[in-house]
Amino acid sequence: MAIMRPFWPTRDSSVFGELDRMRRDMERLFGGLSGRSFRQPTAGVFPLTNVTEDNDNYYVRAELPGTKAEDLDISVRGDGLSIAGERKLPEEKEDARYHRKEREAGKFSRMIGLPGQINTEKVEAHCTDGMLTIVLPKAEAAKPRQISVKAA
Amino acid sequence: MTASEAKALEAKEKQEVSADVEQTRPGPTFTPAVDIFETDTGITLLADMPGVKAKKLDIDLQKSVLTIKGEVDAPEGPNETDVLREYNTGSYVRQFALSDAIDQSKIHAELKEGVLKLVLPKAEKAVPRKIAVKTG
């Protein structure tokens, strides 16, 4: 049995697939050294999201300051969810003269795929201090199971 | 608002501060996005500081320099591992120089849904007065 995977492409994987695997390995290596690695999302997505998991749940978090719960539309399917909504900024009086205008309003929608199946019945979402947190319980089949090893 | 309503929002990378003051708290520090506008009666500042709780927000005014500072506790639980990570969390810091025209005793702050609203009223003498020109 080979202990290490060969660097040269094997017959059943393309060169590009192998290069992609090497790139991911390198990213993992350097990400591991600097603490955390960030994946740059493709352009045009909003909001940026962080997804974490523990044994029972997936957690999806996004920063949505100034967005009210009623302006958010979240729907779930078996292995993913979509977040849509609108960020509204209150209109200021006509005589307001802006010195800085960095905050933006607009609509957004985004699909997020999860690595495993979820129990769509028990998904919970809450928005506090401008942070959206969605807790998605894993489906029974997707939960890790501890296997006890029996001594012969 | 009609123009911005149709526009789709795009995510912006959070701006990390290269602070003049060295940080003693671990973790990154970001510049919050702000809107500042002025009316005849005062200046209003709106800052996006998601995840900052009121008791972790610090507004300081010294020698006409306004500092807003907010700390964010990592929202993740101890047993959670990353699946996808697109943004980082940390503190927010930003400073502004105020003119003397601000009545510093009447500054009003409000934190709601991760947005800080600071109302800085102008001092009485700085409020422009309409002078009626008499004819005759």
Would you list the DSSP string of B53-78?
A: -GGGEEEEEETTEEEEEE-----S-T
Cβ contact, residue pair A53, B81, below 8 Å: yes
pLDDT (average), residues B68-82: 88
Distance (Å) from the alpha carbon of A50 to chain B's nearest alpha carbon: 5
B1, B33, B112 ranked by CB distance to A102: nearest:
B33
Q: Is pLDDT above 60 for B121?
A: yes
Cβ contact, residue pair A102, B35, below 8 Å: yes
The pLDDT assigned to B98 comes to 82
How many Å apart are CA B60 and CA A24, to the nearest integer? 45
Chain A environment of B11 (Cβ under 8 Å): 41, 45-48
Query: Closest Cα to residue A62, out of A125, A112, A132, A135?
Result: A132
Name the amino acid, one letter, at A70: E
Cβ contact, residue pair B34, A129, below 8 Å: no
Cα–Cα–Cα angle for A41, A47, A51, nearest 5°?
Answer: 70
pLDDT digits (tens, 9 = 90+) for A61-104: 999 998 888 889 999 988 889 999 998 888 777 788 888 889 98
Burial (CB < 10 A; 0-12, 13-18, 19+), residue A55, is exposed
First to last CA, chain B: 46
How many Å apart are CA A68 and CA A71, to the nearest integer? 5
Chain A environment of B5 (Cβ under 8 Å): 86, 105-107
What's the farthest any 2 CA atoms get from each other in chain A?
Answer: 83
Distance (Å) from the alpha carbon of A143 to chain B's nearest alpha carbon: 14
How many Å apart are CA A104 and CA B10, to the nearest integer? 9
Do residues B81 and A54 make contact, with C-beta atoms less than 8 angstroms apart? yes
Chain A environment of B128 (Cβ under 8 Å): none
Q: Provide the edge-to-edge strand list for the sheet that holds B115-121.
A: A97-101, B34-38, B42-48, B115-121, B108-112
The pLDDT assigned to A64 comes to 93
Count chain A–chain B contacts defined by CB atoms under 8 A.
161
Residues 7-46 of B with CB under 8 A from A: 7-11, 33-40, 43-44, 46
Cβ contact, residue pair A103, B33, below 8 Å: yes
The pLDDT assigned to B84 comes to 87
What chain A residue is nearest to B117 in terms of C-alpha separation? Answer: A66
> What residue ranges in chain B does DSSP mark as E strands?
15-16, 29-31, 34-38, 42-48, 57-62, 65-70, 81-85, 91-97, 108-112, 115-121
Q: Is pLDDT above 50 for A128?
A: yes
Distance (Å) from the alpha carbon of B105 to chain A's nearest alpha carbon: 22
Q: Is A47 left (phi over 0), alpha (psi -120 to 50) or beta?
A: beta
Q: Is pLDDT above 90 for B35?
A: yes
Do residues A117 and A138 make contact, with C-beta atoms less than 8 angstroms apart? yes
Q: Is pLDDT above 50 for A141?
A: yes
Q: Predicted ipTM?
A: 0.76
Distance (Å) from the alpha carbon of B134 to chain A's nearest alpha carbon: 26
The pLDDT assigned to B25 comes to 65
Using pLDDT thresholds of 50, 70 and 90, give the confidence band for residue B19.
low
- On whether any CB of chain A is under 8 Å from the CB of B3, the answer is no
| Structure-model confidence comparison of residues B25 and A73, the more confident one | A73
Structure tokens at A116: 């495993």
The pLDDT mean for chain B works out to: 82
The pLDDT assigned to B3 comes to 43
Cβ contact, residue pair B114, A96, below 8 Å: no
pLDDT digits (tens, 9 = 90+) for B104-118: 888 889 999 999 999
A118-127, A139-148, B11-20: segment of lowest average pLDDT:
B11-20
What chain A residue is nearest to B80 in terms of C-alpha separation? Answer: A54
Strand duo B91-97 + B81-85: pairing: unpaired
Cβ contact, residue pair B86, A40, below 8 Å: yes
How many Å apart are CA B123 and CA B121, to the nearest integer? 6
